Amino acid sequence: MPEGAAISRMFAGIASRYDCANHLLSFGQDYRWRRKLAAMVKARDPKDVVDLATGSGDVAFTLRETLGPRVAVTGLDFCQPMLDQAEEKKKQRPGTENLRFAFGDCMNLPLNDATVDAITISFGLRNFEDRERGMREMLRVLRPGGAAFILEFSQPSWWMKPFYYAYLKGILPLMARMATGNRDAYEYLGDSIEKFPARPVFAQQLRDVGFAEVKAIPMTGGIVAIHEARA
């Protein structure tokens, strides 16, 4: 796994075009994935939510729209250019008074123990420099009974595999270069997806660090999944 500093530099280089690339490369499915994630969080009726690896803030904004102003939403990221994008978007959106963005490293979260009802992270855990340490940090800051919601790439269903990997390895890097000017970042994306554990294996990793009641919901032919894990 690359060092955190290298990951931060990579995302800094594509920050200004990150949203456009996500919508294009997922064929707009990223909107649906975020809405499903936010609906699952809402079902837990949290008082506060922290979105880790928030990037340009799309998940945080979806949480705000879904949960309403009474729920405090905080987006944390360790890439300042991505946070700058989130702040610019916030200025253009009304009703975001109870939404804030701040610098935060998932390896050492700037949060006290047992202070958060829900944690979300979308397509960020795969990039952790130390996955076990990051998951333990998530568990540390959750209140007893709180939950983590992890939206991440997963292993596709058997019928999807040939089409998906052809796209991931051949087409996606070319489209990414046109969208962002940076093909390398999305070649890394393909490699990291292939190396990420299958849903049952990742669910067991969550249990191993202390999470309970872990369940996975696959979407879009299994290419992504939301893992919900209770503290």
CA distance 48 to 144: 14
22-46: average pLDDT? 89
Would you state the pLDDT for residue 4?
57
Helix (H) or strand (E) holding 49: strand 48-52
What are the residue ranges spanned by the domains of the chain? 4-156+198-230
pTM (2 decimals)?
Answer: 0.89
CATH number listed for the domain at residues 4-156+198-230: 3.40.50.150
Of 10-14, 92-96, 125-129, 208-212, the poorest mean pLDDT is in 10-14
CA distance 61 to 46: 16
Q: Does 185 have pLDDT greater than 70?
A: no
Of 7-11, 51-55, 133-137, 171-175, the poorest mean pLDDT is in 7-11
Interval 82-136: pLDDT, tens? 899 999 999 998 878 889 999 999 999 999 999 999 999 999 999 899 999 999 9
Compute the 3-state secondary structure of the chain and give helix, strand, coil in percent, each to the nearest 5. 50, 25, 25
Per-residue 3-state assignment (H helix, E strand, C coil) for 191-226:
HHHHHCCCHHHHHHHHHHCCCEEEEEEEECCCCEEE
* DSSP-H helix ranges across 15-160: 18-25, 29-43, 58-67, 80-91, 131-141
